[in-house]
Amino acid sequence: MQMDNARKTQRQREPDVVPTAIVTQQPLPDGIAFSTARQRVYWTAMGTLGANNGSIWSCRPDGSDVRAVVRVGEAQLHTPKQIVVDDVHGQLYWADREGMRIMRCSLDRENNESHESGKKEEEEEEEEYPIETLIQTGVWQDETHCQDATRWCVGVALSLRYGKLFWTQKGPPRGVTGKVLCADLACPEQTVVVLADQLPEPIDLHWDEKREILYWTDRGELPWGNSLNALDLHDWLAGTTTSSSSSSPSVSSSLPPPRLLSRNFHDPIGLSVDTAGEWVYVADLGGSLYRCHITSGEKEKLYQDEGCAFAGITHAAIE
């Protein structure tokens, strides 16, 4: 599966097959994820940039049964970006960029109506599945906050084994002020730790629970930007209890430096790790889809369409 910014959700089975659009006419789709338990695709739609009209949707793998998870106007959702599914607890997590927050809701929140209807559930049913804000880095009503890209949350990932929430705050384009952060899911606001900082422009994340490695894309300037990166957290997670009450936490001294795995992408955004195999799949705004070897970083181009700008990407076992 992959999402592009040409307002389409696309599906591709093999590298030599042209992608097939499964949902069209989307208002700037970005992040995409797949629920193995529910056999459904979930994606974010950024809406009109600069307005609180983002939304989140789902459908079956063939594009049918489109449902609204978070409708336009709900929770003042601004610019939803990366999205991740927690099938164990039935939760959906996402980053809201200009909304400057990390949020979640129950997967049961999706309704039984197609997005074309635009109808709302009854208020009591809406309240049964609230939208939670886990991390808040700024207030969208404050113009100075909105203009401060170091507050913008873009990528999000989870470690259910360790109960950790990961996210990126990208910073301005090519600004070298980006960060990758971590917090405890149980009390995120009180346990923030910076895993890496002074990054060109970190975007999406993927946590490999098997290898205990955090991967991310960076669309910033070369030599460290336009890259795929990896950070081995095995030793740190085994020996560290997250505890930070500072509003500006610094990088933990016990962490190893990030490793640049592959580079020379064209504004890479989405990534998806084949944890059972040896590949990291990457989508970039130059219209290319790649796979990179999980240890050597050797890169192979799977598909290219210069008329597209690919954003989110995920791979899935479809039953």
Type of residue numbered 45: A
In a domain, 228, yes or no: yes
> What average pLDDT does range 103-127 have in this prediction?
62
- Confidence label for 252 from pLDDT (cuts 50, 70 and 90): low
pLDDT at 133 over 50: yes
Residues with Cβ < 8 Å from 220, sequence gap 6 or more?
173, 174, 175, 176, 178, 199, 200, 201, 202, 226
In a domain, 318, yes or no: no
pLDDT at 96 over 80: yes
pLDDT, tens digit, 9 for 90 and up, residues 279-310 = 999 999 999 999 999 999 999 999 999 899 99
In a domain, 65, yes or no: yes
* Per-residue confidence (pLDDT) for residue 6, from 0 to 100: 43
In a domain, 319, yes or no: no
Lowest mean pLDDT among 37-51, 248-262, 284-298: 248-262
Which is more confidently placed, 44 or 52?
44
* Cα separations in angstroms, 288 against 20, 228, 257, 304: 15, 14, 28, 4
Count of domains observed in the chain: 1
pLDDT, tens digit, 9 for 90 and up, residues 188-218 = 988 999 999 999 999 999 999 999 999 999 9
- Prior bond of 61 cis (ω within 30°): no
> What average pLDDT does range 171-199 have in this prediction?
94
* Per-residue confidence (pLDDT) for residue 10, from 0 to 100: 64
Number of neighbouring beta carbons within 10 Å of residue 54: 31
Q: Domain range holding 87?
A: 2-313
In a domain, 171, yes or no: yes
**Which CATH number fits the domain that encloses residue 12?**
2.120.10.30
- Confidence label for 247 from pLDDT (cuts 50, 70 and 90): low
In a domain, 178, yes or no: yes
Q: Which of 26, 63, 30, 107 is nearest to 269 (CA)?
A: 30
* Cα separations in angstroms, 50 against 28, 45, 217, 249: 13, 13, 24, 29
